[in-house]
Structure 1
Amino acid sequence: MTEWCSTCSYNRVEPGRTKCAACRTREWREKNPEKQLEQYETDRLKRFGVDSYWYDEKLAEQHGVCAICGKPETAKRNGKVLRLSVDHDHKTGKPRSLLCAGCNRGIGLFGEDPQRLEAAARYLRQHQDSPTATVTSTR
């Protein structure tokens, strides 16, 4: 018999449990905010070789804004504004700067390829002042 989460009634639960992994994680984070921050810093150190000192220095150096767009982070998760992301070179793993979620995702979608990003910028400038084409239906 399939058992469903007693909190969300949506996700299936593991045998012997009453709540799904997502609900258990959310509850743990709510009850342990200091441990969540500690876990975040441990993960950041493992993934990027960056400690809280480096992050805080970089954040101050950038005046708390994204290194690309110059704006503060606005993306949210669970109603809370996210921290700026540690951008890193995917080939070397070396950290570069702090980026907002949008810019970080954007350079990732362009494969971190400067030529593609420059071509996209040229394309946008080329079409910036051009009148919008009207599409007429052939039906």
Structure 2
Amino acid sequence: MRNLATPPIVWVHGDSLSPMNPALLAYPQAPAVWVWDEELLTQWQISRKRIVFIYECLLELPVEIRRGNVLQELTQFVQEQGSNKLVTTQSPSPHFKQICQELSQQFTLEILPIPPLIPPQKYLDLKRFSRYWQVAERQIYPH
């Protein structure tokens, strides 16, 4: 029988790759993990420049870095740590939702909201990051 008092595991993913990640802040002493998603790396053909950027961000975080099938790697990491709880942050990704659904069948799963960078807008063009940033920059740096 597992010890129910074991600390949770923090899962850091690409939609909250920051030292201000709510899961890392809520559980600063918890073991944390990032998994390079082998399937997405192949499907999306992510550039080396972006991979290096993500890796440099990861070096600033207290995470163990793994690569492979996300569900399998997370399951293995949680079991290695002797935990039964996984904490992460929300994501709009259907792939994320599918992984969470499967994880919740094995573990207690807590998904924390990510505070918005800027207050909600009536309309915000998200087709390009630069359009979003033009609106955000005016609100973050008003002067």
- Calculate the TM-score normalised by the size of structure 1: 0.22
Greater relative contact order structure (CA < 8 Å, 6+ sep): 2
Task: Provide TM-score, normalisation by structure 2.
Answer: 0.22
Greater strand share, structure number: 2
Q: State the structure with more CA Rg.
A: 1
